[in-house]
Amino acid sequence: MITGKTNVFGIIGDPVEHSLSPAMHNAAFKKLGFDSIYVPFHVKAEELEAAMKGASAMGIKGLNITIPHKTEVIEYLDYLDITAGLIGAVNTIEFGENGMIGHNTDGIGAVRAIEEVMPVKDKKVVILGAGGAARAISFQMLLSGAEELVIANRTLEKALALKEDLVEKLDPKVKITDLGFPLKEELQNTDILINTTPIGMYPNVNQKPLVSSDMINEGLVVNDIVYNPIKTGLMEEAEKSGAQLVYGVKMLVYQGLEAFRIWTGIEPPVELFEKALMDELSSKIKL
């Protein structure tokens, strides 16, 4: 029952109706017996400042931030943790005694998903795409000890801009390439391949993946962060090659678990978040 003591958490975005986060967090609150609720809030860009001030004034306990507000919201926060500061984007806000603190759990979500099958420390990682998700994952991969990063993107200038930022802040071993032959060469001795482009995402499920089975070695870990459909064209190619598969839903689960831990100090069992997510996906979104 919702009372005057119920703690309110939520997610703000535009759009936000399709968010799967409420299902995960509310399932955990229920299971753990917390007097808390997690609500989606549809906030347009021009209302972001008012929404943040309002959230603080109304005693909201924690927020997730999704597209298109992940960068712009920083302006309204009091502090950023180190990772969010490096990435320059926030997906989780903690309402502390001294103000609003921004975190980014997207990258660690991807790392923890991959680490279910292989530690990232000292590994070579190829990332397809150079957008927002690639940026969060690139920084976190390096912070988690990856040895070498290759950013492969259609628009080379965007890959170069990301590389320059990574080099300036972390001084890592980073290469860039377009999606042609050099990518095939790079994949010969790569440990982990992550697709962060929307290729293959519903409704474009028949779009040709950027990497085909003949480019994938057995033993490569392949992670497509697209989660609708669960098994994308890239994952089908990876399966044919005997690669180890990490589905996009896992990143979603772990970024949520990390946010829950930041807000409550407790990490619920991963299976609890995963079941809530899969139930919601199968009822809400075309699989």
Catalytic machinery residues: 70
In terms of C-beta density within 10 A (0-12 exposed, 13-18 middle, 19 or more buried), how is residue 213 classed? middle
User: How many other CB atoms are found less than 10 A from the CB of residue 219?
Assistant: 11
Q: Does 204 bind ligand NAP (CB under 6 A)?
A: no
What minimum distance in Å lies between the beta carbon of 124 and ligand NAP? Answer: 20
Angle between helix axes 248-264 and 270-284 (nearest 10 degrees) is 130
Q: What do you get for the CA distance between the two ends of the chain, in Å?
A: 33
Q: Could you give the CA distance from residue 147 to residue 121 in angstroms, rounded to a whole number? A: 7
Q: Does 223 bind ligand NAP (CB under 6 A)?
A: no
Choice from 27, 120, 130, 149 touching ligand NAP (CB under 6 A): 130
Choice from 68, 158, 212, 217 touching ligand NAP (CB under 6 A): 158
Q: Encoding tokens for residue 231?
A: 């098994």
Residue facing ligand NAP at closest CB distance: 131
Question: Judged by CB under 6 A, which stretch of 24-32, 142-150, 197-205, 278-286 contacts ligand NAP?
Answer: 197-205
Q: Does 8 bind ligand NAP (CB under 6 A)?
A: no
Q: What angle do CA 44, 50, 52 make, to 5 degrees?
A: 90
Question: Judged by CB under 6 A, which stretch of 47-55, 57-65, 80-88, 123-131 contacts ligand NAP?
Answer: 123-131
What minimum distance in Å lies between the beta carbon of 214 and ligand NAP? Answer: 19
**Which one-letter amino acid corresponds to residue 100?**
M
What minimum distance in Å lies between the beta carbon of 91 and ligand NAP? Answer: 9
Q: In what order do the strands lie in the sheet with 192-195?
A: 173-177, 148-152, 124-128, 192-195, 221-224, 244-246
Pairing of strands 99-103, 62-65: unpaired
Question: Judged by CB under 6 A, which stretch of 49-57, 193-201, 234-242, 257-265 contacts ligand NAP?
Answer: 193-201
Provide the binding-site residues for ligand NAP, judged by CB under 6 A: 106, 109, 129-134, 153-155, 158, 196-199, 201, 225-227, 248, 251-252, 255
